[in-house]
Chain A
Amino acid sequence: MTREFSDELLSAYLDGQLSAAERATVDAELAANPDLRQLLDELQSLTLQVQSLPRLSAPADFSQRVVQAAVLAAAEKEATVEPARPQDSSASPHQIRRRVLLPVVLAGTAAVAASVAMLFWRPGQAENVLGPNVVNSAPEEPTAAERALAQLRQAIPQEGAAVVLRLRVGPGQTVSQALAAAGITERPPTDLSTEAMQIGAAYRSQLAEKFGGVTPGVPNLALDEGTIAATDALFVEAAWESLEQAVASLAESPEHALELSPLMHVAISSIQGADDAEGEGEAATTAAKKAAAANYAQRLNAGMFRLEKAVTPVAASTSSSATTIPGTQRVKVLLLIEHVAK
């Protein structure tokens, strides 16, 4: 080997990454130097061994999970939160309203701008938010199903708004089966024509206010210690009577009392965009209305949702006069599900 020759040229020679002049230099050196030829052989063998190491395949649902997380992250990033301000003169002082502008993530070409107002409430403030105080005059002990339905009824906001509900279910209580039995069919997670992502983003923003945000690669101890992962997340948009039927069937389990805790309201008002205003989107609007009328549940990536460890039970009234909801009213609920052992 001549003094000028650098053996690092050997790797580049092996990889075909040398200029013609450099290649000629290496060829000449190899012809004259058996040690160098041996090193080249060894490097070649090593290269082949590394190249033959096993390849991995992503899990079947990987791209689906990634797209969900990406859309949600984009929605969170673009959310612009104004300073808190009182809702209106008649509102309870406990009510805080924020205007959040979310990005248009609806699929398709319809120009629909969604402005979302999130109406926060903490479990302890539920009655302030949900309307007039209700006198609980029911003398008899309510059944588990009655209790669950009363909690649900109280949590349902006005039409157009959505609620994020924490659902603690026990063994044998399968939410997706109960929804299916009530005629609420599953819609693919990749269908972005629903408001699931915006509502999920609103919930995550609220949690980030308390525990801090999630930055890739940066551990968030407060979040890790103060919350647990949801085991399932389902966005449901359905007629009230269908959801009521599903929850009633879940609550019938004798082994575990279904527990519902409303976490926040998300009020969404959609404004038709320019296309629709000019009448061009009439057919699309009709199709959208038809699609909206279907009862559906959309599974979201549960790994994106955390639940606070400390749960304060919501005081729920069992009085049927608490809230009357028409059976055909469309309700939107993001169910964050926690499975408990017993």
Chain B
Amino acid sequence: MAQDDGELIHATLRGDSAAFGQLVHRYQDRLLTALYHVSGSRDEAEDVAQEAFVLAYVKLTLFAGSSSFYTWLYRIAFNTAISRRRKRRGEASVEQTRDTTGSEPHDDAEPAEDRLLRQERAAQVQQALARLPDEFRRVLVLREMDGCDYDTIAQILELPIGTVRSRLHRARLHLKEQLSAAITDRHDRG
């Protein structure tokens, strides 16, 4: 039977690093996906995720258990991502570094034309997401990609819950505008 997070954390603190490996394995895909959509780069997402897990391991004795391990880990990861981005400001923009995912599940039953349209739409959404201000993108990714409730988002981003609510709504409105502009632009050129 799979051990819960608390058991794995206790085992890790007793020196069982394989238990920490199980924690990593449990959250790596979710964290990586969230960080990818925040940073726009798979390499950056992997680097940040690794740094976050390493920091979590080193600071595990400080984990008080007042939030879930996952929330605590995300807070570390998002702070790491913000810190790295601040340091690298001036380098390539998110749009420029965004790489293609190529990892979208392929549905054989879906007609090729539909699949192309869906992929094109997904690319537009991804580009619009990348153009959002950082604070909007972070809150949106946590909500839409990770399914976090407002309280969890508030804990991860260390924001009042009211700010989460208003920021999330403004983020959606921004994204809607970005997508409308992209579609209009495409029609004008087409």
Q: What is A's interface to B at a CB cutoff of 8 Å? A: 7-8, 10-12, 15, 17, 42-43, 46-47, 49-59, 62-67, 69-71, 73-74, 77, 104-107, 190, 192, 216-219
Structural contact, B125 and A57, CB atoms closer than 8 A: no
A48 nearest CB neighbor, chain B only: B144
Interface residue? B187 (CB, 8 A): no
Structural contact, B20 and A216, CB atoms closer than 8 A: no
Structural contact, A67 and B20, CB atoms closer than 8 A: yes
Total number of residue pairs linking A and B with CB closer than 8 Å: 140
Structural contact, B17 and A46, CB atoms closer than 8 A: no
18 A-B pairs with C-beta separation under 8 A: A11-B168, A15-B143, A43-B172, A47-B144, A49-B122, A50-B144, A50-B145, A55-B145, A56-B36, A57-B103, A62-B49, A63-B28, A65-B50, A70-B20, A70-B53, A107-B18, A190-B21, A216-B83
Q: What is B's interface to A at a CB cutoff of 8 Å? A: 15-18, 20-21, 24-25, 28-29, 32-33, 36-37, 42, 45-46, 49-51, 53-55, 57-58, 80, 83-84, 87-88, 101, 103-105, 121-122, 125-126, 129, 140, 143-145, 149-150, 165-166, 168-170, 172, 175-176, 179
* A54, chain B: closest CB distance, angstroms: 4
Q: Which residues of B contact A42 (CB under 8 A)?
A: 176
B76 nearest CB neighbor, chain A only: A216
Q: Which residues of B contact A53 (CB under 8 A)?
A: 37, 122, 125-126, 129, 145
Structural contact, A50 and B150, CB atoms closer than 8 A: no
Q: Which residues of A contact B36 (CB under 8 A)?
A: 56
Structural contact, A8 and B53, CB atoms closer than 8 A: no
Candidates A46, A52, A73, A190; contact of B122 at CB < 8 Å: A52
A-B pairs with lowest CB-CB distance, top 4: A70-B57, A11-B169, A8-B169, A217-B84
* B92, chain A: closest CB distance, angstroms: 15
B86 nearest CB neighbor, chain A only: A217
Q: Which residues of B contact A77 (CB under 8 A)?
A: 58
Q: Which residues of A contact B122 (CB under 8 A)?
A: 49, 52-54
Interface of B is mostly: helix
Q: Which residues of A contact B80 (CB under 8 A)?
A: 216-217
Beyond the given A50-B144, A57-B29, please list 8 additional residue pairs across the A-B interface where CB-CB is below 8 A.
A15-B168, A46-B172, A56-B42, A67-B20, A67-B21, A70-B20, A107-B17, A216-B80
Candidates A7, A12, A69, A218; contact of B50 at CB < 8 Å: A69
Candidates A52, A56, A70; contact of B17 at CB < 8 Å: A70
Q: Which residues of B contact A12 (CB under 8 A)?
A: 150, 165, 168-169
Structural contact, A62 and B125, CB atoms closer than 8 A: no
* A6, chain B: closest CB distance, angstroms: 8
Knowing A70-B53, A70-B58, A216-B55 are in contact, say whether A56-B165 is a contact too (CB < 8 A): no
Q: Which residues of A contact B144 (CB under 8 A)?
A: 47, 50-51
A43 nearest CB neighbor, chain B only: B172
A124 to B85, CA, bound (A): 41
Structural contact, B15 and A107, CB atoms closer than 8 A: yes
Candidates A47, A52, A62, A66; contact of B54 at CB < 8 Å: A66
* A232, chain B: closest CB distance, angstroms: 19
* A200, chain B: closest CB distance, angstroms: 14
Structural contact, A17 and B172, CB atoms closer than 8 A: no
A105 to B168, CA, bound (A): 44
A111 to B143, CA, bound (A): 46
Point out which of A42, A62, A69, A192 has the most chain B C-beta atoms below 10 A from its C-beta: A62
* A310, chain B: closest CB distance, angstroms: 27
A68 nearest CB neighbor, chain B only: B17
Q: Which residues of A contact B32 (CB under 8 A)?
A: 56-58
Structural contact, A64 and B45, CB atoms closer than 8 A: no
Q: Which residues of A contact B121 (CB under 8 A)?
A: 49
Q: Which residues of B contact A59 (CB under 8 A)?
A: 46
* B127, chain A: closest CB distance, angstroms: 11
A58 to B83, CA, bound (A): 22
